[in-house]
Amino acid sequence: MAEKQQIRAIKGVRDILPPASAAWNRVEQAAREVFASFGYGEIRLPIIEHVQLFARSVGIGTDVVLKEMYFFEDSASRDLSLFKQAISQFSVDLEDAVQRGGFAKSIRLFLEQLNEAVHSGEIPSTVDNLAAIERFQESVRAFDGALPVVTGQAVSNQFQQVVNDVRARINSIQIGHLIGLRPEATASVCRAYIEHGMQTLPGDVKLYYIGPMFRRERPQKGRYRQFYQIGAEVLGQSDSPGIDAELMEMLLAFFTRVGLAGLALDLNSIGCGECRPKYVEVLRAALLKVKDRLGADSQRRIETNPLRVLDSKIPEEQGIIEALPRISDHLCENCKTHFGEVRRQLDLRGIAYNLNWRLVRGLDYYMRTTFEITAPGLGAQNAVCGGGRYDGLVELLGGPPTKGIGFAIGEDRLMLSLEAAGKMAAEPSLDVFIVWMGAAAQPVGIKLAQKLRGAGMKVELPPEEFKFKKALGLADKLGARYAVLIGENEIAAGKFTLKRLADAVQTSVTEAELLSELKKA
């Protein structure tokens, strides 16, 4: 019996349906236009990347990579994967020497292919993998030793032990490359910058992207497992504070353009490789003094990442955190000067901001300028945009020394906030509904629909004959502005009946009159 159970979308992912999708498109179009006016070009990035890219940039210890990334082993070599699967499922219920012999042969063949594949780069020659293969080789030798003995319970047990060993070791070999669904796109932009030698391009490289990202977070309003970002990045030789300020100016110009009001821009500098580690130690020491008054999460973070304690939303911790040493008092001279100039450049552009020394961001690559924008109507997940400077990230990924700064807007949250503000007004969905009756009317209707659509109008033409009343009812429900009626009388007179649905005013018109009337409206 075929399963008839309904298959639903995966938890935390959504469909975006019309007419909402039209509003999404309008917002994306606004981003394209605003960003282009600041000299940005679109980069289309892959949705899958090597896990290593995110581990190295976003940070192996961050929630985004460690807890939330979707990844899989891409079986570059089907044979090897199949071998691996077959060997790990191999039944040890063996009294049969022939079967043992076959198994031994498979394993040796597997080992041979494995070595070849590592040499050719078909499977990753990571340190872990090389060690796993070495260990596997050892157990194959042990296996060979156990093989000649065929019978007896004790021997069988010994054999079982060897097989278990082989199996465990084979499982620890990573046949395919680890591929992740991107949790964000800054890392990909940096990868692409290096891969395409963009450092040789004139001026700063200014790129934007629009697309889905994936994080296995606990779904709630404004937090999804597949969500959409509109982001932009500037990469180049300069870390001039004017770049930081213009980036924020562009961001706010975009929000103004789409009609999002009531925004708050939070700004901070989290220092550089010089001053931040020192501050982190000062902070850690201060946190240790108040450790007993903190919750379990914060206590753990004193060791792992003290800066993240500043993110805490736990009410009882707020008073304690407010009294902690602040990064602004521990910036080195260069960072202090840079931050002062960023603020002056924002002032020059008339951009208001709140200084927020607790804004540390959850990704490892940031340094100096960090910022976040919150929007109304979103509840707990009210950060609609986050960004900051990440000088040195390109270098960390194997590229030339490069400065970088960027942001990403959470498009889902942006749309929620626009909706809450009543700014999602749908465009009229339909201009004309053509009602035709009788075989002779259909070809006339088809031609008219072609003409009107060619003129850019939204037209609905029923695929089969409807009764007038039913057709007009549907036209109304679809929100059509006009109905054009084509029946026997119209065909005979060589005219159309044009009905304005808002007030039911009806006129008899020639095709030329019809076109000019519709274009006017």
Residue 56 near ligand HAM by CB under 6 A: no
Question: Which helix or strand (DSSP H or E) is residue 231 part of?
Answer: strand 226-236
From 30-38, 173-181, 224-232, 279-287, give the range in contact with ligand HAM by CB under 6 A: 224-232
What order of strands is seen across the sheet that includes strand 205-214?
A: 41-42, 205-214, 226-236, 403-410, 383-389, 367-374, 264-269, 354-355
d(CA 166, CA 139): 6
From 225-233, 255-263, 349-357, 462-470, give the range in contact with ligand HAM by CB under 6 A: 225-233
DSSP-assigned letters across all residues of 25-53: HHHHHHHHHHHHHTT-EE----SEEEHHH
The length of the chain is 521
Closer to ligand HAM by Cβ: residue 384 or 448: 384
Q: How far is the CB of 390 from ligand HAM (least distance, A)?
A: 6
Q: Name the token pair of 519.
A: 């274009």
Q: Name the token pair of 124.
A: 């990753």
Closer to ligand HAM by Cβ: residue 110 or 208: 208
Q: How far is the CB of 389 from ligand HAM (least distance, A)?
A: 8
Residue 40 near ligand HAM by CB under 6 A: no
One-letter amino acid identity for 314? Answer: I
Q: Which of 57, 77, 139, 229 binds ligand HAM (CB under 6 A)?
A: 229
Contact track, ligand HAM, 161-190, x by CB under 6 A: -----------------------x-x----
222 with 388: CB under 8 angstroms? no
- Dihedral angle sign, alpha carbons of residues 210, 412, 257, 190: negative
Residue 384 near ligand HAM by CB under 6 A: yes
Q: Which of 136, 209, 224, 279 binds ligand HAM (CB under 6 A)?
A: 224
Residue 169: φ, ψ to 5°:
-70, -35
Residue 385 near ligand HAM by CB under 6 A: yes
Q: How far is the CB of 426 from ligand HAM (least distance, A)?
A: 23
Closer to ligand HAM by Cβ: residue 159 or 254: 254
d(CA 377, CA 385): 14
Residue 227 near ligand HAM by CB under 6 A: yes
One-letter amino acid identity for 284? Answer: R
81 with 176: CB under 8 angstroms? yes
Q: Which of 124, 180, 306, 386 binds ligand HAM (CB under 6 A)?
A: 386
From 153-161, 217-225, 270-278, 345-353, give the range in contact with ligand HAM by CB under 6 A: 217-225
Strand partners, 386: 372, 408
Q: How far is the CB of 10 from ligand HAM (least distance, A)?
A: 14
Q: Residues interacting with ligand HAM, by CB under 6 A?
A: 184, 186, 215, 217, 222-224, 227, 229, 231, 233, 383-388, 406-408, 410, 412-413
